[in-house]
Amino acid sequence: MDEPHKTTMKNLPKQEMPYEKCWTSGANSLTDAELLSVILRTGSRGEPAIELSRKILTQSAESGLLGIYHLSLAELMKMKGIGKVKAIQLKCIAELSRRMAKEQAGTSLSFTEPESVAEYYMEDFRHEEQEKLLLIMLNSKGKLLGEEVISKGTVNATIISPREIFLCALRHHAVSIILLHNHPSGNPEPSEADIRLTDRVKHSGELLGIELLDHIIIGDHQAVSFRLLDLL
């Protein structure tokens, strides 16, 4: 019985080889596996880079390129053909992609527009596996004074005190603030705890003369603004 045909770089038509395909048709013509195979350059004994790349893309619970972001170095190195160098290459590719997406979003960042703020912070927060609350502090002209992670874990009004939020805001001489946190589930709809926390921070800010401009919740490629929902 003949062995199943296995795709190799050598038996591919020249015009379908990733390097040749990129040269003639552009990088956007390459599949995810082909892009990875160009970066990895070599596979393992008996397994070409294109086959190794396809396996990598199915290793995470979230398959595809995004899955690489969630795989640790140790998890990558458990795969046949992935040593320390290739694992580092893959993690650097994932981080470079995240930074490029954030930098592109930053060119149109406006703290007065919830959509702009959500887009800018999306790549930092949508990959997080636990909730994280970020305090964004602004001056009287709406320019960024600083940002600080206030909490990691469950974002809950019973755990987070407005006191620590405003102590940080006062240290930066902030005139207004924005709260931003993520929902690891991917669904950005506000919970009752989110609403209670926002209400407490809003009223505390009114007493101190520091306005809460918005509370933005990041999901997976989607976000919710309390201001746009008329919850502020």
pLDDT in tens, 122-155: 878 887 888 999 999 999 999 889 999 998 876 6
Q: Which two tokens stand for residue 175?
A: 């005139």
* pLDDT given for residue 3 in this prediction: 44
Average pLDDT in the chain: 85
- Range with lowest mean pLDDT among 146-155, 181-190, 221-230: 146-155
* pLDDT given for residue 66 in this prediction: 73
Reported as a pLDDT band with limits 50, 70 and 90, residue 1 is very low
- Residue whose entry in the numeric block shows the structure tokens 């149109």: 108
* pLDDT given for residue 158 in this prediction: 46
The reply to whether the predicted model has a pTM over 0.75 is no
* pLDDT given for residue 182 in this prediction: 94
Reduced to 3 DSSP states, what percent helix, strand and coil does the chain have, rounded to the nearest 5? Answer: 45, 15, 40
* pLDDT given for residue 154 in this prediction: 66
The b/e string for 156-174 (b: 16+ C-beta within 10 A; e otherwise) is bbeebbbeebbebbeebeb
Q: Long-range contacts of range 133-136, CB-CB < 8 Å, 24 or more positions apart?
A: 133/160, 133/179, 133/180, 133/181, 134/179, 134/180, 134/181, 135/165, 135/168, 135/169, 135/177, 135/178, 135/179, 136/111, 136/177, 136/178, 136/179, 136/180
pLDDT exceeds 70 at position 175: yes
